[in-house]
Amino acid sequence: MTVTGASGLDDPFSTAAAAAAELGRRTGGPHDVAVVLGSGWQGAVGALGAGGAEVLATELPGFAPPTVPGHEGRLRSVDVAGRRVLLLVGRVHLYEGRSPAEVVHPVRVAVAAGARVVVLTNAAGGINPGYRVGQTVLILDHLNLTGTSPLAGAQPPAGYPPRFVDLTDCWSARLRSVARSVDPDIEEGVYAGLLGPHYETPAEIAALGRAGADLVGMSTVLEAIAARHLGAEVLGLSLVTNAAAGVTAAPITHAEVLSAGADAAPGLARLIGEVVAKL
């Protein structure tokens, strides 16, 4: 069984398959939907589904332990409206020194465990001046400014799609329509994914705005690419936890991000639960 080395996962697809098999043994079978809960979204866990089997991520092959407050590193299997939902409570990031393969490993495991729909959530800075702190925004499209891809490197093995995945429909129009049927007032925006861990300068935010970005963060884009490569539909939900640099003169802190997430958790859980019920 492979383990994480200095360069990341040596055999990412077989490691994901092994982790999915172990996850299935521990949770009682395949899952229909996977939900990745980003910074500040952990408060939604209990409201999405009580009970269910729970596994520490590091007990499964290939999972790296998170080092960022607000990312717990556990997986919970719950029933939501008759569907088996895998909650991935927290994620790891490139800025923690992790490879792209390690960053997307949980999503690859979830798809290997049966999930055909992947919901990616995150905390984001609001570039669009019309956004308010505490607002949830549908991801319409993204700018991958991390400088890397989970599909770079060795060709995917036999039995997997080729590396040249079409991202035209990366963020599922069908799933966005479902979300709008739950909340007709929800807005859509373009998410810019950067490396981090530092927050952006006002000049960088101004440039991102000119490039079409409404939101900025340090996650999500690599996971979306990995999920689409494996054929899953992707829905993205960004919680605006702060106004980006230059949009406001106020300082930006991670504590602010977590606080905004805690305040929004009940509403976030309701939105995800109702979306899953309509799938």
Nearest to 257 by CA among 272, 246, 242: 242
Distance of CA 168 to the CA centre of its chain: 19
For residue 231, the enclosing domain spans 9-277
For residues 9-23, average pLDDT: 95
Report yes or no on 241 lying in a domain. Answer: yes
1 belongs to the catalytic site: no
When the pLDDT of each residue in the chain is averaged and rounded to a whole number, the result is: 91
Q: Choosing from 44, 110, 218, 243, which is the catalytic residue?
A: 218
CA–CA gap between residue 216 and residue 202 (Å, rounded): 12
Q: Choosing from 22, 149, 204, 254, which is the catalytic residue?
A: 254
- Strand partners for 250: none
Backbone angles phi, psi at 87, to 5 degrees: -95, 120
Q: Choosing from 17, 54, 72, 95, which is the catalytic residue?
A: 95
**DSSP, res 277:** H
160 belongs to the catalytic site: no
26-30, 90-94, 110-114, 264-268: segment of lowest average pLDDT = 264-268
- For residue 50, the model assigns a pLDDT of 64
Q: Choosing from 19, 96, 224, 245, which is the catalytic residue?
A: 96
Q: Choosing from 34, 57, 112, 123, which is the catalytic residue?
A: 123
**Which are the contacts of 131, defined by CB distance < 8 A and separation ≥ 6?**
137, 187, 189, 214, 215, 240, 243
Dihedral sign for Cα atoms in the order 53, 113, 138, 209: positive
CA–CA gap between residue 84 and residue 28 (Å, rounded): 10
198 belongs to the catalytic site: no
Q: Residue 233 belongs to a domain with what CATH number?
A: 3.40.50.1580
- Per-residue pLDDT tens for 221-257? 999 999 999 999 999 999 999 999 889 877 777 777 7
What Å distances lie between residue 199 and 100, 173, 257, CA to CA? 20, 30, 12
Give the count of alpha carbons within 13 A of 31, CB side only: 34
- Domain count across the chain: 1
- For residue 138, the model assigns a pLDDT of 98
Distance of CA 173 to the CA centre of its chain: 17
Say if residue 1's pLDDT is above 60.
Answer: no
191 belongs to the catalytic site: no
- Per-residue pLDDT tens for 148-184? 999 999 999 999 999 999 999 999 999 999 999 999 9
What Å distances lie between residue 55 and 28, 43, 58, 119, CA to CA? 12, 18, 8, 19
158 belongs to the catalytic site: no
Indicate the pLDDT class of residue 70, thresholds 50, 70 and 90.
Answer: low
**Which are the contacts of 272, defined by CB distance < 8 A and separation ≥ 6?**
35, 44, 48, 80, 119, 121, 237
pTM of the model: 0.93
- For residue 135, the model assigns a pLDDT of 94
Which amino acid is located at 211 in the chain?
A: A
- For residue 51, the model assigns a pLDDT of 66
**DSSP, res 63:** P
Measured between alpha carbons, how far apart are the two ends of the chain, in Å? Answer: 35
Report yes or no on 52 lying in a domain. Answer: yes
- Reported in sequence order, the residue ranges of the chain that DSSP labels E, i.e. its strands, are 4-5, 8-9, 33-37, 54-56, 74-80, 83-89, 117-126, 136-144, 187-193, 215-217, 233-243
Report yes or no on 247 lying in a domain. Answer: yes
- For residue 7, the model assigns a pLDDT of 37
Report yes or no on 134 lying in a domain. Answer: yes
Q: Choosing from 179, 242, 265, 269, which is the catalytic residue?
A: 242
105 belongs to the catalytic site: no
Say if residue 213's pLDDT is above 70.
Answer: yes
Report yes or no on 4 lying in a domain. Answer: no
CA–CA gap between residue 59 and residue 154 (Å, rounded): 26
Q: Greater confidence, 214 or 47?
A: 214
For 45, the enclosing helix (H) or strand (E) is: helix 45-48
200 belongs to the catalytic site: no
For residues 176-194, average pLDDT: 98
Report yes or no on 152 lying in a domain. Answer: yes
Q: Choosing from 219, 233, 238, 260, which is the catalytic residue?
A: 219
